[in-house]
C-alpha cells in the first residue's frame, strides 16, 4: 500500500524524489481502478470479474504507469532548474546591491584583484606563447639537437663539420632522418634584390634532410626536398612569412617564381607559416647550403659550423640514438689520418635546446605573480571577514526567515565570485596593456616572442584564475559568517567578528606578510644579481660607439679588390665629421666568439714547452679596432697598416691568454704555433667579455683583418657625441662609395650590450614590481586589521587615556600589536623564502639564493613597512576623546 503523499503543496521545501513520484502515480492509478471496480460491481459483476473488467477497460496499465512517472520526474527536474536559475538571479542581484552599498571595500577589492589577475594573465601569456605552445613540428619529442663532443679539449657541445655530418647521415639507422643548418645572426644572410635597393635578409642555410627532420610543412607551396638541396639542383628558396608579406605583399603567385638572392636566381618553392620560427625568430629565408660556393665556407673537417638535428626512428630512445651516433662518430674519427679528438656525440630534445634557458626564469616569474594573487586573495578574505561584522544582523535575519546555511553560503560565494569575475574582466584589460609593456621591457628578446599575445586561451585562463580566487577568498569568510550561533547575534549577545573573527584576520595578515617576504626576497636577490651584472666590466667602452654590420659581396669584389674596398669603406667613414676612430672586427663582443681555429700551441720560446694545445677563438680586427672600442693595449704594439697581406703574420693576444701561457713573463715576442706556422706575438690587449657578460674572457687571439679575408664585417665607429646623431651621415658615406652595399644593422654599441641584459632586466624589474605589490598589499592588510582593532577598542583606549595613560603607551599598544603580527609573518616568510629562492639559483649571477645581506634587507624593509602601516591607525587611537568614547557606550 503506497504511503499517502504529503498534503502540503504550497509550502514545500524539499523536492520529490523519483521514488516519491512513483508512489504518487501508483496511488493515483490504484484509486482509479478501485472506483471503476466499485462502479462495475454496482452494475452486478462479481468482485473478481469487476476488477478484471476495470483493468481491461483501462488499456495498457504498465505503459501508462511508466509514462506518467517519466513525465512527473521531468516536470520535477525542470521546476528545480528554473528555481535554481531564479535563486541565482536573485543572488546576483543581491550581490551587486551588496557590493554597491560598500563602495570603499568594492573599490579596494576590485583594484587589487584587477592588478593581481592582470599581472598573472600577462605573465601567463608569455609563458604560453614561449613555453606551452607546441613547437611547429609534429612529434617534436622525437627531434634531437645533436652536438659533437671533444673530451680531450673539454668541448662538450660543438657544432659539426659538413664532412662529419655527411658521414653520420650516410651511416645512421636509428635516426629516421638527419639534417643540419647554418644560421648565425648578422652573418648567414644574403641580399634580396626585388624592386629598388637590395635588402639584407637573415637566412638559414640548410642541408638535405632539414625539412624532413622537422616535418614542417609550408603555409603555401611546399618545402625544399632533400634532392633539391644538392650541388647542381639547389637554386630553391623558402620564404619566411614576414618577408613574404613585407616584400611581396602576401602575393600567393610568388610560388614557382624566381627571385634574386645575392645576384643569382632562386625559385620560390613555398612560404613557411608565421609560427615557424626555426632556428630563430626573424629568419627571412631558407636556402640550400650547397649554394654557397666551394671557397665560401670551409668544407673540411676542422671547420665545425653546422647545427645538426635528427628525428629518431619510431621506437628508438634518445639513449639508443646517442649510442649509435657516438659509435659512428668514433669510427669516422678513427679513420682519419690526424686525430681530432672529436670522438663523441651528445644530444638533447630540440625543445630543451630552444627553451631550456628561458624555462626557469619564466616559471620563477609565474610563481612570483601567483604569490601576488595569493596575497590579494588573503587580503580580500580579511576585508570580507571585517565586512561580516557590518552584515551580521542582515544575515541573521535572512537565516531567521528560513534561508538554510547552504543557501546563505551560496549567496555570499556568489557575491565573492561576482567580485572576482569583475576583477578578472578588468584584469584582462590590464593584461592587454601589460603584454605590450612586457615587450618593451625585453620580452621580445625571448625565443618565439612573436607568439606572445592575448588569445582566447589566455583570456579563459584569466577567468579561470578569477573564479579560483573568488572561491579562495570567499569560502572561509562565508563559512565563518554562517557558523552556528547566529540566533545569538539576533539577540545581540554575540558579534560574529568578535574575538574569533579578529584572531582569524590576524592570522590572515601574518600569512600575507609571510608571502610578501618570499616575494621581496626573490626581488631582492634578482636586483642584487642584476646590479652585479651591471658592474661587470665588459673590457670595452660601449658609450659613443656606433656599430655597423655589413657583408661585402665577394663576387663583386674578388681577391685584391676586396681588401681595397674594405679599407676604402673604413677610410670613407673616418672622414665623416664627428667620427673620431673607425675600427672593424669579424665579430663584435657579446655577438659571438668568432672562429675557433685548429689547436694553437704555445711552444718553447720561454713559455711552457709542454703546455697542451689550446683551441683558441680567433678574432679578425683592423688596426684601429682597439682604439675605437676603447680596449686598452697592455704591452707591445697594436697592428699597423704595415701588417698587411704578404707581410709576416703577427698576432695580438688578450691578457687571459698571456697570463695562462706565460704567467711570469711578457708574452710580447713569444710565438704561437698556428697549424704548422710559428707566429710572433707583438702585443697584449685587455680582456673583453666576448661571449657574454656573465662569462669571463676566454684566452683569445687577434689577427689583422687584412691578413685574413672575411666577407662579414662589423665596423665600430667612435663618435664625438651621441652615436645615433651620426647614423645617417655614416650610411650616406657607405652608399656614396657603393650604392648597392646592403647594411645588415646599424645601432649603438650600448644597445648591443643592453640587449644582452634584456632577460635579466625583465626578470629583475618584474620581480621588483611583484615584490612591491606584495609589500603594498601586506601593508594594506596590517593597516586594515589595526584600524579595525582601534575602532573596536575605542572605549578601552578612552578609559586608558582617562586614567592617565601617556600617548606613548597608547601608540605602543597599537604599534606593538601590528609589529607582533609582522614579526610572526616575517619569521614564517624567511623560512619559506629560504626554501623557495633555491629555485632561483640558476637565474642568479654571482649571488647565492640564501644571500644573508639580501635577507637582512628583506627583514628591514618588511618590518619598516609594517611599522608605517601600524603607525597610522595608532595615531588615530591617540585622537580618541575619552569623554566621547565612554559616552558612546
Which residue, 8 or 879, is less far from other proteins as judged by CB? 8
Of 18, 75, 356, 611, the one binding other proteins by CB under 8 A: 75
Q: Please, which residues have CB within 8 angstroms of residue 190's CB and are 6 or more apart in sequence? A: 200, 201, 203, 261, 262, 285, 287
Rule CB under 8 A: is residue 436 a binding residue for other proteins? no
CB of 26 to other proteins, least distance (A): 11
| CB-based burial label for 102 (10 Å; 0-12, 13-18, 19+) | middle
Site for other proteins in 199-228 (CB under 8 A): none
Q: How many residues bind other proteins (CB under 8 A)?
A: 31
285-288/199-206 β-pairing: parallel
Task: Tell me whether residue 15 or residue 58 sits nearer to other proteins (CB atom).
Answer: 58
Interface with other proteins, residue 63, by CB under 8 A: yes
Span near other proteins by CB under 8 A; candidates 20-28, 749-757, 765-773, 824-832: 20-28
Among 64-72, 244-252, 340-348, 799-807, which window interacts with other proteins (CB under 8 A)? 64-72
Q: Which is nearer to other proteins, 56 or 319 (CB)?
A: 56
CB of 20 to other proteins, least distance (A): 12
CA–CA separation, 191 and 315 (whole Å): 43
| DSSP-assigned letters across all residues of 14-30 | SPPPHHHHHHHHHHHHH
Q: How far apart are CA 850 and CA 847, in angstroms?
A: 8
Binding of residue 78 to other proteins (CB under 8 A): yes
Q: Which stretch binds other proteins (CB under 8 A): 19-27, 115-123, 389-397, 600-608?
A: 19-27
The residues with which 712 forms a beta bridge, in sequence order, are 551
Whose Cβ is closer to other proteins: residue 49's or residue 531's? 49
Task: Look at residues 119, 55, 94 and name the one whose alpha carbon lies nearest to residue 768.
Answer: 119
Give whichever of 58 and 735 is closer to other proteins, judged by the CB atom.
Answer: 58
Residues 207 and 306: beta-carbon distance below 8 Å: yes
How far, in Å, CA of 831 to CA of 517, rounded? 9
Residue 63 beta carbon to other proteins: minimum distance, rounded to whole angstroms: 7
Q: Is 26 in the site for other proteins (CB under 8 A)?
A: no
For the bound state, the minimum distance from the C-beta of residue 89 to other proteins, rounded and expressed in Å, comes to 20
Q: Is 848 left (phi over 0), alpha (psi -120 to 50) or beta?
A: beta
Does 53 bind other proteins (CB under 8 A)? Our answer is yes
* All three cell numbers of 717: 665607429
By CB under 8 A, tell whether 45 contacts other proteins.
Answer: no
Q: Quick check: 15 binds other proteins (CB under 8 A)?
A: no
Q: For residues 578 and 762, is the Cβ–Cβ distance under 8 A?
A: no
Site for other proteins contains 740 (CB under 8 A): no
41 is a site residue for other proteins (CB under 8 A): no
Asked if residues 551 and 792 have their Cβ atoms less than 8 Å apart, the reply is no
- Residue 275 in contact with other proteins, rule: CB under 8 A: no
Contact 573, 718 (CB under 8 A): no
DSSP H or E stretch at residue 175: strand 175-182
Q: Which is nearer to other proteins, 57 or 222 (CB)?
A: 57
In this structure, what C-alpha cell is assigned to residue 275? Answer: 609560427
Which one of 1, 7, 173, 664 is in contact with other proteins (CB under 8 A)? 7
Taking CB under 8 A as the binding criterion, the range among 29-37, 344-352, 514-522, 576-584 that sits at the site for other proteins is 29-37
648 binds other proteins (CB under 8 A): no
The yes or no reply on residue 732 touching other proteins (CB under 8 A) is no
Does position 503 interact with other proteins (CB under 8 A)? The reply is no
Of 25-33, 158-166, 322-330, 824-832, the segment contacting other proteins by CB under 8 A is 25-33
> What is d(CA 272, CA 283) in angstroms, rounded to the nearest whole number?
10
Cis peptide before 17 (omega within 30 of 0): no
Residue 136 has which C-alpha cell? 611547429
Q: How far is CA 534 from CA 145, 370, 747, in A?
A: 33, 28, 20
CB of 72 to other proteins, least distance (A): 6
Shortest Cβ 381–other proteins spacing (Å): 44
- Cβ proximity to other proteins: between 21 and 682 the closer is 21
3-state SS, residue 148: strand
H or E segment to which residue 683 belongs? strand 677-685
Between 59 and 804, whose beta carbon lies closer to other proteins? 59
User: What is the three-class DSSP state of 761?
Assistant: helix
Of 630, 627, 701, 714, the C-alpha closest to 660 is 701
> Does 74 participate in binding other proteins (rule CB under 8 A)?
yes
Report the C-alpha gap between 814 and 822 in whole angstroms.
Answer: 13
- Asked whether position 5 contacts other proteins by CB under 8 A, the answer is yes
Q: Is 108 in the site for other proteins (CB under 8 A)?
A: no
Give the shortest CB-91-to-other proteins separation in angstroms.
25
CA distance 594 to 231: 27
Supply the minimum distance, in Å, between the C-beta of residue 40 and other proteins. 10
Q: Which is nearer to other proteins, 75 or 436 (CB)?
A: 75
- Would you tell me which residues interact with other proteins (CB under 8 A)? 4-7, 9, 24-25, 27-29, 31-32, 34-36, 53, 56-61, 63-64, 67-68, 71-72, 74-75, 78
Amino acid at each position: 500500500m503506497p504511503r499517502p503523499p504529503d498534503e502540503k503543496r504550497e509550502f514545500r521545501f524539499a523536492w520529490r524524489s523519483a521514488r516519491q513520484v512513483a508512489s504518487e502515480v501508483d496511488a493515483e492509478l490504484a484509486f482509479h481502478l478501485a472506483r471503476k471496480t466499485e462502479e462495475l460491481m454496482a452494475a452486478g459483476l462479481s468482485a473478481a470479474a469487476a476488477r478484471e473488467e476495470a483493468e481491461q477497460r483501462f488499456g495498457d496499465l504498465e505503459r501508462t504507469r511508466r509514462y506518467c512517472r517519466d513525465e512527473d520526474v521531468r516536470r520535477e527536474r525542470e521546476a528545480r532548474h528554473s528555481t535554481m536559475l531564479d535563486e541565482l538571479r536573485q543572488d546576483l542581484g543581491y550581490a551587486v546591491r551588496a557590493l554597491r552599498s560598500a563602495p570603499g571595500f568594492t573599490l579596494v577589492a576590485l583594484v587589487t584583484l584587477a592588478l593581481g589577475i592582470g599581472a598573472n594573465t600577462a605573465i601567463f601569456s608569455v609563458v604560453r606563447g614561449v613555453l606551452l605552445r607546441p613547437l611547429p613540428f609534429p612529434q617534436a619529442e622525437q627531434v634531437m639537437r645533436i652536438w659533437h663532443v671533444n673530451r680531450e679539449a673539454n668541448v662538450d657541445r660543438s657544432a659539426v663539420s659538413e664532412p662529419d655530418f655527411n658521414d653520420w647521415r650516410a651511416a645512421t639507422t636509428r635516426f629516421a632522418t638527419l639534417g643540419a643548418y647554418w644560421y648565425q645572426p648578422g652573418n648567414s644572410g644574403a641580399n634580396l634584390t626585388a624592386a629598388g635597393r637590395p635588402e639584407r635578409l637573415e637566412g638559414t642555410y640548410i642541408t638535405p634532410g632539414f625539412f624532413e627532420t622537422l616535418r614542417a610543412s609550408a603555409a603555401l607551396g611546399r618545402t625544399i626536398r632533400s634532392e633539391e638541396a644538392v650541388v647542381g639542383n639547389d637554386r630553391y628558396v623558402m620564404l619566411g612569412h614576414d618577408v613574404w608579406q613585407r616584400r611581396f605583399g602576401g602575393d600567393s603567385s610568388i610560388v614557382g617564381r624566381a627571385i634574386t638572392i645575392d645576384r643569382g636566381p632562386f625559385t620560390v618553392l613555398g612560404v613557411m607559416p608565421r609560427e615557424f620560427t626555426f632556428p630563430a625568430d626573424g629568419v627571412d629565408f631558407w636556402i640550400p647550403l650547397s649554394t654557397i660556393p666551394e671557397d665560401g665556407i670551409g668544407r673540411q673537417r676542422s671547420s665545425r659550423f653546422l647545427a645538426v638535428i635528427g628525428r629518431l626512428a619510431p621506437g628508438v630512445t634518445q639513449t639508443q640514438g646517442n649510442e649509435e651516433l657516438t659509435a659512428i662518430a668514433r669510427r669516422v674519427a678513427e679513420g682519419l689520418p690526424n686525430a681530432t679528438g672529436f670522438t663523441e656525440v651528445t644530444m638533447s630534445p630540440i625543445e630543451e635546446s630552444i627553451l631550456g634557458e628561458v624555462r626557469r626564469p619564466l616559471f620563477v616569474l609565474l610563481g612570483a605573480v601567483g604569490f601576488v594573487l595569493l596575497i590579494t586573495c588573503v587580503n580580500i578574505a580579511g576585508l570580507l571577514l571585517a565586512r561580516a561584522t557590518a552584515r551580521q544582523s542582515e544575515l541573521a535575519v535572512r537565516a531567521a526567515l528560513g534561508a538554510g546555511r547552504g543557501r546563505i553560503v551560496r549567496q555570499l560565494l556568489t557575491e565573492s565570485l561576482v567580485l572576482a569575475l569583475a576583477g578578472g574582466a578588468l584584469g584582462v584589460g590590464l593584461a592587454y596593456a601589460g603584454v605590450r609593456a612586457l615587450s618593451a621591457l625585453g620580452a621580445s628578446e625571448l625565443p618565439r616572442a612573436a607568439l606572445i599575445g592575448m588569445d582566447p586561451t589566455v583570456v579563459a585562463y584569466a577567468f579561470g584564475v578569477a573564479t579560483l580566487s573568488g572561491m579562495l577568498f570567499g569560502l572561509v569568510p562565508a563559512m565563518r559568517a554562517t557558523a552556528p550561533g547566529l540566533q545569538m547575534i539576533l539577540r545581540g549577545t554575540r558579534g560574529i567578528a568578535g574575538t574569533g573573527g579578529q584572531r582569524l584576520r590576524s592570522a590572515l595578515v601574518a600569512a600575507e606578510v609571510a608571502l610578501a617576504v618570499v616575494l621581496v626576497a626573490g626581488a631582492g636577490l634578482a636586483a642584487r644579481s642584476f646590479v652585479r651584472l651591471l658592474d661587470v666590466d665588459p673590457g670595452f667602452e660601449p658609450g659613443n660607439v656606433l656599430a655597423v654590420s655589413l657583408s661585402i659581396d665577394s663576387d663583386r669584389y674578388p681577391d685584391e679588390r676586396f681588401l681595397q674596398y674594405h679599407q676604402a669603406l673604413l677610410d670613407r667613414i673616418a672622414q665623416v665629421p664627428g667620427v673620431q676612430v673607425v675600427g672593424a672586427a669579424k665579430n663584435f663582443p657579446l655577438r659571438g666568439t668568432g672562429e675557433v681555429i685548429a689547436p694553437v700551441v704555445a711552444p718553447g720560446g720561454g713559455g711552457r714547452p709542454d703546455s697542451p694545445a689550446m683551441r683558441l677563438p680567433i678574432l679578425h680586427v683592423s688596426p684601429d679596432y682597439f682604439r675605437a672600442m676603447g680596449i686598452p693595449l697592455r704591452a707591445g704594439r697594436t697592428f699597423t697598416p704595415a701588417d698587411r697581406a704578404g707581410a709576416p703574420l703577427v698576432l695580438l693576444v688578450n691578457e687571459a691568454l698571456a697570463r695562462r701561457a706565460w704567467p711570469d713573463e711578457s708574452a710580447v715576442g713569444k710565438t704561437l704555433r698556428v697549424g704548422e706556422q710559428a707566429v710572433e706575438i707583438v702585443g697584449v690587449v685587455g680582456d673583453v667579455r666576448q661571449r657574454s657578460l656573465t662569462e669571463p674572457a676566454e684566452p683569445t687571439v687577434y689577427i689583422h683583418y687584412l691578413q685574413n679575408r672575411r666577407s662579414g664585417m662589423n665596423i665600430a665607429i667612435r663618435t664625438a657625441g651621441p652615436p645615433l646623431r651620426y647614423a645617417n651621415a655614416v650610411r650616406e658615406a657607405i652608399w656614396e662609395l657603393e650604392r648597392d652595399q646592403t647594411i645588415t644593422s646599424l645601432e649603438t654599441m650600448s644597445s648591443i650590450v643592453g640587449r644582452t641584459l634584456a632577460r635579466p632586466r625583465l626578470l629583475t624589474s618584474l620581480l621588483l614590481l611583484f615584490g612591491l605589490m606584495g609589500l603594498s598589499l601586506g601593508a594594506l592588510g596590517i593597516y586594515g586589521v589595526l584600524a579595525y582593532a582601534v575602532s573596536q577598542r575605542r572605549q578601552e583606549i578612552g578609559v586608558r587615556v582617562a586614567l592617565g595613560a601617556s600617548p606613548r603607551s597608547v601608540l605602543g599598544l597599537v604599534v606593538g600589536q601590528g609589529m607582533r603580527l609582522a614579526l610572526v609573518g616575517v619569521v614564517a616568510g624567511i623560512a619559506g623564502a629560504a626554501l623557495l629562492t633555491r629555485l632561483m639559483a640558476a637565474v642568479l649571477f654571482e649571488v647565492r639564493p640564501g644571500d644573508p645581506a639580501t635577507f637582512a634587507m628583506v627583514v628591514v624593509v618588511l618590518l619598516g613597512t609594517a611599522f608605517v602601516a601600524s603607525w597610522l591607525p595608532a595615531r588615530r587611537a591617540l585622537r580618541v576623546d575619552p569623554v566621547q568614547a565612554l559616552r558612546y557606550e
